[in-house]
Structure 1
Amino acid sequence: MPGELIDSEAIFAPLAEFRRVGLAVSGGPDSLALLLLAAEFAGRHGAHDRFVVYSVDHGLRPEAAGEVAYVTAAAGKLGLTARALRWDGPKPATGIQQAARAARYGLIADAMAADGTEVLVTAHHLADQAETVLMRLAHGSGIEGLRGMDYLAEIGGLIVVRPLLGVDPADLANLVAASDLAPARDPGNFDTDYERVRWRQMLPQLAALGLDARRLSRFADRMRDADQALAGMAAAVVTPLDPVTGSGSVARAMLIKLPRAVAIRVVANLLDRVGGGQKPHDLAPVEALTDRLRMEPALKRTSLHGCLISSDGVTITVAREAGRQAARQSRVRSDSSVTRN
């Protein structure tokens, strides 16, 4: 039984506020384990109608259609409703994993809206969290990125919950092995052309040096605590943006007074709000800009992440680059016209 290996109550009881819960199931061992846990929980509480399984064929492998059919059939045998979805149309030549992820969430979001499903549960686990932390560390992320994946997140308008982040994938595989389900093997999970796979293959070597997945996950938890503290301090410095131009400002004296980590977060937030959410992977340029703004009495003009930044020594101003500002003003005028009519 699933409960003998992983407690399904601990996984799904916290989701009691949601009337209908979606499960993202690809057919691999992790998501099949999630399916088994949901079925066990549903059977215990007579709640099979609360769960809907979503399985996506990305149209990238001929075997995928059969894997999706297997998932929907397995879900049906367990008493759960299932939806088979397919990503049709042309596929990009590069960045296929990112594009497939976006397409998957988009397809599931549309299906969930039609089904009245309120939250999507995924099978991201302990090793996934460790890989994410390592990738972000390699990309130069700051504390905000090193917190890893959150238990609860919003992705493309979806509420996504990851209740297995603290679960060892070996336990998930053992759960499936003890059942009559046969997990699919996606060759993409072993393709070293993908960065995540390379980090996955590195994990055993890091574990041998004492840096295992659980320790990386604990590090992510500590970074989350630190990130929340920084976010709270930076929020106290937030000023409203100009409603027409979308520009923002902050007093230079305030930026100088703040601890450097908080000042960097204030500048990053301002760039994010003014620039329209273009958050960089690498924090280094934001750190360098913040240091310049704090040390140099005046800054004529520099650009970063779709923004123009200047300082007269008293006030630091962040404005959209010309093309973005024109688009913003056009939208504002259009909205005003609609309101007047």
Structure 2
Amino acid sequence: MSGQTVRPDLAALMAAALGRPVAPDEHLAVATSGGPDSLALLSLAAAAFPGRVTALTVDHRLRPAAAAEAAGVAAQCAARAIAHHILVRDGPGFASNVQARARAARYDLLGEWCVQHCHGLLITAHHADDQAETLLMRLNRASGSEGLAGIRAARLLRPGVTLVRPLLDCCKVDLAALASADGWQAVDDPANRDPRHDRTAVRALLATNPALDVGALAASAAHLAADAEALAWAADLAWAGRVRAADGALLVDAAGLPSALVQRLLARAVETLAGRPSRGSDIARLAARLGGGASGTLAGIVARPGPIWQLSVTRPPQKGGKRPQKPA
């Protein structure tokens, strides 16, 4: 890296992620853990959108030092006249799947604050290194195109709040240098080095294998995201022309469609009837059964084969009757 600090144009990156410029009356919340990445993002945001930025730090109450670290971020923000709030998670600790459950709790708190305070944009400091790690992790889990698309630049977090990741093309080392140049004192979260987490192992793999190019991996995820977007568009067209409702069931005409579209239609049909999404691997197995002429069940939905597939909610047995057997 050169001696000059790289300073991305955050307004341009936000516009690219959103597909439009940030409006003059929009307020932005910046998820600020206190790590160098989030502090760099906060610096960029405060400069690009003066007076419209609020830093939010979540204390999960998972580590004794977390409260003091959050207070330290608050003090640094106060010294720079940047609005800051600490959001504290109530409840017991997590016994398992700690990172995923902490992430879900964090986004719940951040999203709720944004709704209550009319901040329509929540931005996080996910960067190219995060994207590369995510891609490798999902490749190792045999993810499909949707999963391999990695971290999306923008998505609706909840009604009225858009989650934006404008720094996905930026490298971690450059963001750390920017935070240091701007005088921030970063927090070192030991969870980032905890060997129990899959991401820690992937991060070490990238650090010790220079042949794995972080920028190239992140770019591949971006290409896959574009492909997934095109596939979603095609699936919407197929849904409009190939799926219809009849007597409480969904009838799916999958004949002649590529398998990727078939699985998307099937996944949407199952979610529509069940009220919740199903895993891609389960959808693939169900599609294979139907394609082979066999019935199948998933998430309380029975699917029957034929020229037109029929999906309906399984019915409980009537009083005194026998429970219908599930298709094999």
The TM-score, its normalising length taken from structure 2, stands at 0.85
Post-superposition offset of 1:6: 2.5
Q: What's the counterpart of residue 222 of structure 2? A: 221
* Mapping for residues 186-265 of structure 1, pairs under 5 Å: 186-206=189-209, 208-209=210-211, 211-238=212-239, 239-241=243-245, 245=248, 247-251=249-253, 255-265=254-264
Gaps of 5+ in 2: 16-20, 317-328
Whole-angstrom CA distance in 1 between matches of 2:315 and 2:140: 33
- Looking at secondary structure, tell me which structure has more helix per residue: 1
Q: Name structure 1 gaps, 5 residues minimum.
A: 324-341
Cα distance in structure 1, aligned partners of 2:154 and 2:25: 13
One-letter amino acid of the counterpart of residue 46, structure 2: A
Question: Which 10-residue stretch deviates more, 97-106 or 5-14?
Answer: 5-14
Counterpart for residue 310 of structure 2:
317
Please name the residue that 1:287 is paired with: 284
Give 1:118's aligned residue: 120
Corresponding residue for 1:137?
139
Per-residue CA deviations over 1:186-238 (Å, capped at 9, x if unaligned) read: 100100101111111111345x33x3221111211221222122222222232
1:176 to 168, 175, 179: 179
Correspondence for 1:15 among 17, 22, 27: 22
Paired residues for 1:88-103 under 5 Å? 88-103=90-105
**Per-residue CA shift, 1:89-135, capped at 9, x if unaligned?**
11221122122112111222222222211110000000111111112
- AA aligned opposite 1:215: A
Q: Does 1:104 align with 2:103?
A: no
Query: What is the aligned counterpart of 1:69 among 65, 71, 81?
Result: 71
1:38 deviates by 1.6
User: CA 1:223–1:321 in structure 2 vs 1: closer, same or farther (change >3 Å)?
Assistant: farther
Instruction: Report the alpha carbon displacement of residue 37 of structure 1 after superposing the two structures with TM.
Output: 0.9
Tell me which amino acid in the other structure corresponds to 1:221.
A
Structure 1 residues 141 and 321, CA gap change in structure 2 (3 angstroms): farther
SS at match of 1:256: coil
Percent of matched pairs sharing the same residue: 34
**Residue aligned with 1:220, SS:** helix
Q: CA deviation at 1:5?
A: 2.9
What is the rounded CA distance, in whole Å, between the counterparts of 1:101 and 1:124 in structure 2?
13
Letter in 2 for 1:307: I
**Distance in 2 (alpha carbons) for counterparts of 1:119 and 1:171:** 24
Question: CA offset at residue 24 of structure 1?
Answer: 0.4
Q: Is the 8 A contact 2:128 2:168 kept in 1?
A: yes
Give the distance between the partners of 1:65 and 1:161, measured in 2 at CA.
26
Question: Cα gap change, 1:156/1:218 in structure 2, threshold over 3 Å: closer, same or farther?
Answer: same
Of the three residues 34, 38, 41, the one matched with 2:48 is: 41
| SS of residue matched to 2:58 | strand
SS at match of 1:237: helix
Provide Cα deviations, 1:150-185, integer angstroms capped at 9, x if missing partner: 111123554100000110000000011212211001
User: Cα distance, 1:275 vs. partner?
Assistant: 2.6
223 and 306 in structure 1: CA distance in 2 versus 1, 3 angstrom threshold: farther
* Structure 2 CA distance for partners of 1:224 and 1:67, relative to 1, 3 Å: same
Give the TM-score, by structure 1 length.
0.82
Aligned to 2:272: 273
Q: 1:82 to 1:248 in 2, by over 3 A?
A: same
1:46-65 aligned at under 5 Å gives the runs 47-48=50-51, 50-65=52-67
CA drift at 1:260:
2.4
Q: Distance in 2 between matches of 1:307 and 1:137?
A: 29
- In the alignment of these two chains, the number of paired residues is 304
